[in-house]
Copies of this chain bind each other. A is one copy, B any other.
Amino acid sequence: MSTVNIKPLADRVLVEPAAAETTTASGIIIPDNAKEKPQKGTVVAVGPGTKDVEMTVKIGDTVLYGKYAGTELNVEGKDFLIMREADIFAII
């Protein structure tokens, strides 16, 4: 898990997407542009919440989220997603 010096505002969560798997279940290596975008990631920073939203996820949680959740953010050369906690479906 990456550590970054960043403080999300309000009910936002910074997520490091899991690396897309390059081998299919049947062991065939798929070329880069066929990789499915990951929908699983690790929480690396959590906002303080708002008057209406008490935060549930914690740093280090593995979370599932929708394919189009969040905004891509490049921090210190790594790609992250910043999303609202409401965009996270579940903790696994």
A91 proximity list for chain B (CB < 8 A): 6-7, 9
Q: Is the CB of B51 within 8 A of A88?
A: no
Known: A56-B9, A57-B9. A89 touches B75 (CB 8 A): no
- Annotate A59-92 by CB proximity to B: 1 below 8 A, 0 otherwise: 0000010100001010101000010011011111
- Count A interface residues, CB 8 Å: 31
Q: Is the CB of B25 within 8 A of A86?
A: no
Tell whether A5 is near chain B: CB-to-CB under 8 Å: yes
Tell whether A32 is near chain B: CB-to-CB under 8 Å: no
Other contacts beyond A39-B73, A82-B90: 20, CB < 8 A: A6-B90, A6-B91, A6-B92, A7-B90, A7-B91, A8-B89, A9-B56, A9-B57, A9-B89, A9-B91, A10-B86, A12-B89, A12-B90, A25-B77, A48-B56, A51-B52, A64-B82, A66-B71, A73-B89, A82-B89
